[in-house]
Structure 1
Amino acid sequence: MSGGDIEKDILGQVEFYFSDENLITDKFMNENLKSKGGLSLDTLMTFKRMKRFDLKAVEDALSHSDVLNVKDGFISRIKPAPSTDDLENLKKELNSRTIVLKDIPLNADLDQLQQAFGSTGAIQIRIKKNGVVFLVFRSVEDVEIFLKNDIKFQGQNFEKMTFEEYEKTNYKKQSNKNGRKNDSRNRRGRNNKFSRNSGGSRGDLRKDTDNANDKSETKPADEKTSEKPPVVENAEVKPSENKNASEAETK
């Protein structure tokens, strides 16, 4: 890659970090711009996609930026960062220029996607871990053209939809997921309720079993008792009877 290409690559990457489009979703950059007014060059160089560049090359490239200022190792925007309300409005406008791709290979990286879709008018690419990719275009017209064209990635087809369609699909899935969770909770609740009843029944059964065991254990004792008491009773009663009889006779 030539020096000019490297500078172009650096400027494109860093200016994107500070852009309105990125601030909509990038909480770290948004918080730094709000609290500090920018970002230190040292912090910037810790970003994953900046580690491939030399610090001196980054400093030289940023000195030619039309949208960023660099002073004493600190980078700031020439144009003030948008307010929270402005970002919310920008988000809606950005979503209207966003296409969502599904079924993209999970091992696809940003460079491959940029190479495949960079010439289609996409100005921003975001990858989610589940094979979903977000492409932000310059205009709604570019979005319409992209949707009409038969475009493949690495020779494979993929599903594409507007952000609005994606949100509806995602909302339905989330609703179904929440519904399944609620059903699962209800089932667990019913099972728990049933378990409590069953637990009570099992408790009763355990009691019955214990009683049965008691009976089974006491039966031998009862048998012994049934054998011994008559003997004992006879032994005890007879003398009493004899005693009473003798007393009666005495009287």
Structure 2
Amino acid sequence: MDVPAKIRKQVDFYFSDSNFPFDKFLYFLSKKNSEGWIPLETVAGFKKMKMITEDQEQVVSALRSGDSDLVELNEAGDHIRRTKPLVEQNFVSRSIYAKGFPLVDEGAEKPIDALIELQDKIEEFFQEHGKVLAVRLRKTDARPSVFKGSVYIEFDNISTAEEVAAKSLQYEGKDLLLKTKRQYLDEKSEKYRNEPKTKFNNNKKFNAFKYERDGGKGHFNNGNKKFRDNNNRGNKRNNNDNYKDANYRLLKFKNAKDVTEEQIKELVGKDDVETIIKKEDGSGFVLLSKKVSRKVAYELKDKSVDVKFFAANNDESKEFAGESAPEPSTGEKRKAEDDIQQEDA
């Protein structure tokens, strides 16, 4: 496959039925304007796209020379959008669970690159058995997360998924454990049926269809009293001494090692960002143009993918300002930072 074809295939995947409604980052970017346009610079900056090409003009050329009925560029060639409305489908029934793949990220100099390469190889492997729409690598709950050796494979129809799940297959000489995704989920559900909500049954991945059915539940609403403004005493955190002298324009973020500052701006809102400071470990600060850090942090709880945002507390505000701050004890860690959604077991 030549480079232009790879570009078109990858871009089509980002906006596909298999990915777009479950991609919080892209979905909410498309909601930032009434016509659904997303900066092409953002899409071209994704890790997998940059592994194909770092030349945005080549991306524009490839998309213009294609005949995709799923995406379109604007006249200037600097924004892209999905052209078809989202239609809910039975994604689970046409998917399988497969386990037995090498843990290529362990000890790798560039673990993300190693996983992307493995993902492509797995897709090629299963393409011999049916049309593959998506390959999703499953990772551990612990941070930094690592590959678990299992994947979800989404095919283009239910019968193919059922046929492949019934086969005896080997990958690089090792037997694979195969079952339909529905079978796998039912088994896990039964296993955790009588247990309190924990990492498996409390995990709620983003789903645009459910989000829209719920009327944007969980998304920031100006009418929500709890988050109306930073001086609202109805917000219990305002009575917390850890936030008494906090900078209400300041957001703290983490897990952004593979995200560019431009992508962070797009996620938060370019017009709302005054300054971004990003550290080598993927953490950092966003200084907003207004005193709305808690509102934005609450809003981004539904929007962010791996990057986590929090309203900065007293010590973090001092750190941003270059002032000395004491090391927090274990018990002083904010609950918000502990409530990281975990993947299913």
Do both share a fold (TM > 0.5)? yes
C-alpha distance in 2 between matches for 1:180 and 1:24: 25
Equivalent residue, structure 1, for 2:179: 161
Give the CA deviation at 1:133. Answer: 0.3
Equivalent residue, structure 1, for 2:47: 48
Alignment gaps of 5+ in structure 1: 182-251
Q: Which amino acid aligns with 1:17?
A: Y
Distance 1:172 1:61, change over 3 A: same
C-alpha distance in 1 between matches for 2:197 and 2:160: 37
Give the CA deviation at 1:176. Answer: 6.4
Which structure has the greater CA radius of gyration?
1
- Structure number with higher strand proportion: 2
Q: Write the deviation string for residues 42-61 of structure 1: whole angstroms up to 9, x where unpaired.
A: 10122110112132221111
**Among the aligned pairs, what percent are the same residue?**
29
8 A contact 2:168–2:176 mirrored in 1: no
Distance 1:149 1:180, change over 3 A: closer
Alignment gaps of 5+ in structure 2: 105-114, 140-147, 200-345
Equivalent residue, structure 2, for 1:5: 2
Equivalent residue, structure 2, for 1:75: 80
Give the CA deviation at 1:115. Answer: 2.4
Once the two structures are superposed, the pairs formed by residues 1-251 of structure 1 within 5 Å of their partners are 5-36=2-33, 37-52=36-51, 53=53, 54-63=55-64, 64-66=66-68, 67-71=70-74, 72=76, 73-79=78-84, 81-82=85-86, 86=87, 89-90=88-89, 93-107=90-104, 109-121=118-130, 122-129=132-139, 130-175=148-193, 178=196
C-alpha distance in 1 between matches for 2:162 and 2:198: 36
Q: Write the deviation string for residues 212-237 of structure 1: whole angstroms up to 9, x where unpaired.
A: xxxxxxxxxxxxxxxxxxxxxxxxxx
Q: What's the RMSD between the two structures over aligned residues?
A: 2.3
Q: Write the deviation string for residues 31-50 of structure 1: whole angstroms up to 9, x where unpaired.
A: 12233303211101221101
Equivalent residue, structure 2, for 1:202: none
C-alpha distance in 2 between matches for 1:20 and 1:138: 11
C-alpha distance in 2 between matches for 1:77 and 1:21: 13
Distance 1:49 1:177, change over 3 A: farther
* SS in structure 1 at match of 2:97: strand
Give the CA deviation at 1:178. Answer: 3.8
C-alpha distance in 2 between matches for 1:69 and 1:21: 18
- Structure number with higher helix proportion: 1
C-alpha distance in 2 between matches for 1:180 and 1:39: 35
Distance 1:180 1:13, change over 3 A: closer
Give the CA deviation at 1:177. Answer: 5.9
Q: Which amino acid aligns with 1:97?
A: R
C-alpha distance in 1 between matches for 2:17 and 2:196: 33
TM-score normalized with structure 2 length: 0.45
Distance 1:154 1:38, change over 3 A: farther
Give the CA deviation at 1:24. Answer: 3.0
Distance 1:34 1:146, change over 3 A: same
Distance 1:150 1:55, change over 3 A: same
Q: Which amino acid aligns with 1:96?
A: S
* SS in structure 2 at match of 1:94: coil
Larger RCO (CA within 8 A; separation ≥ 6): 2
8 A contact 2:102–2:149 mirrored in 1: yes
8 A contact 1:11–1:65 mirrored in 2: no
* SS in structure 2 at match of 1:105: coil
8 A contact 1:38–1:76 mirrored in 2: yes
